[in-house]
Chains A and B, each alone.
Chain A
């Protein structure tokens, strides 16, 4: 059908110009950033964080910054993800009936998918949990591990039409992890030794650096972040797959669109 349309209708000039403008701005930004990024300042806060890292006894300096020094930012980022999951849940709740079904869940998924998932699922789960628990020792942590765990469940949802994550249970898990994070922060405030929100109030001797049990509250907080991220991403996947429930109100709204 689109072939019959004249050229100027197929390509909207305004849109193309806008894209060209955005592309030009992007190039401008990149050149600017690269020029200044190469001779990055050496006395920035990043280097000062590195110099102070040993005091937290976390072998992974990035984790120290993410969970301790700038843990407040991380709490904020977890909240942004939480809000995004809430928003998606709200928009998809009951499904937007008129959107084309993302996939027919009654169809049998193909054999490769099923077998592959059967093999991959335990391995992915293990990898995810490992990455979360070793966040303070090796690269990775709550965000990355949480997403990997959620991906493992996502594969199962695709491979097995009958497999569903229970929204209510996910909600409780997420609630537990989120409030745990804030409560850890509050405990830091309560203890006289730290007297600061998110202060590291558990013993964190430098001698234990590099062991699984070290760095005080950092691995515990990262574990909670992992649980929360995993539950939220899982809930988002579940919301997007659940497009086949119908509530008349939203279905009508979607048709109007």
Chain B
């Protein structure tokens, strides 16, 4: 198993309702989630806004500290590891962010952006790795000299992907990576991601609110609603026979290209 998550709980302080004196109340965002991510799987995490899907992703990468439960990554319990202890492992799990503009430092060239994690992890042959990463995401090598604002949205998102795969991780978390793109760039980025998963033998968790995107890419789906898992299963069976009422709601929200057709 790549990830074993057991009874994961996470709450954040609610500063808006902080009393003048006394403890800050906490909002429970994840209410005890348990699931597995097998090696090589492409897991879709779907849910409406406020369902906790991004929080779950950030907890899995230990950008947020869980308040309860456990997260095992490839046999190692990472729930309570300190930042120093995690440092060496960070190369193995990477993330692609939602907004490609804010996830790329505007003051660095593309080459520098891809090189930064490689330098942190003290890998050698950085220039070749940058070229390889750009080749893999289908960007010309000259783009290493450009600034992020000189690229289109789709190109920027490819840079984000290149930065993640340049480290050759085992696991990648993609957090709503196509929601900011137009439909044709979405399709290109999804195709690219599918290809990379196959070529590099990646395990992928793909967060989205859009089931039609999940259906295209993922082999398992996790449906989150208000911090709880309402349904989990293989993509095919979930689309054919959704069990939870919330899943049915999500499915019926997918706009059909032809309203007289059904999904089959």
A, B assembled together: no
Name A residues whose Cβ lies closer than 8 Å to a Cβ of B: none
Name B residues whose Cβ lies closer than 8 Å to a Cβ of A: none
